[in-house]
């Protein structure tokens, strides 16, 4: 028996009690969103984005003053980016619905 086969057999014996359960992924659920709900969501996201940008501005000032680490500043920047992506995703969703 080759050395590779012995190694492989030993590795597989370590995991002989593992079983895999394969589940069928559910189909995407259709959501019926009214235009009013979408507009409210977009408005709320814009308000959150404005607040996050104000907080980011304060964080930049605090970082320059040495009161905030670069990692914490990155978290503020990431939050702004996430909100922008959510707004973009919502706009893309509404454009897809109109087509």
Instruction: Write down the pLDDT at residue 81.
Output: 96
Instruction: Write down the pLDDT at residue 33.
Output: 67
Gyration radius from the chain CA atoms = 25
Q: What's the CA dihedral at 34, 38, 44, 47 to 10 degrees?
A: -140
Q: What's the CA dihedral at 84, 89, 95, 99 to 10 degrees?
A: 160
Instruction: Write down the pLDDT at residue 8.
Output: 75
Q: Rounded to an integer, what distance in angstroms lies between the CA atom of residue 28 and that of residue 85?
A: 21
Helix (H, G, I), strand (E, B) or coil at 42: helix
CA-wise closest residue to 80 among 44, 42, 53? 53
HSE on the CB side for 99, CA within 13 Å? Answer: 6
Q: Rounded to an integer, what distance in angstroms lies between the CA atom of residue 1 and that of residue 24?
A: 39
Domain ranges of the chain: 27-98
The pTM assigned to this predicted structure is 0.63
pLDDT one digit per residue (tens) for the chain, 99 residues = 578 788 877 877 777 777 767 777 777 666 666 788 888 999 999 999 999 999 999 999 999 999 999 999 999 999 999 999 999 998 887 777 665
């Amino acid at each position: 028996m080759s050395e590779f086969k012995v190694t492989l057999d030993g590795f597989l014996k370590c995991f002989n009690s593992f079983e895999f359960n394969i589940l069928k992924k559910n189909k995407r659920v259709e959501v019926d969103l009214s235009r009013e709900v979408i507009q409210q969501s977009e408005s709320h996201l814009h308000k959150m984005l404005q607040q996050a940008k104000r907080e980011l501005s304060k964080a930049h000032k605090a970082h320059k003053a040495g009161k905030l680490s670069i990692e914490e500043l990155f978290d503020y920047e990431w939050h702004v980016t996430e909100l922008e992506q959510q707004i973009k995703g919502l706009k893309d969703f509404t454009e897809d619905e109109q087509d």
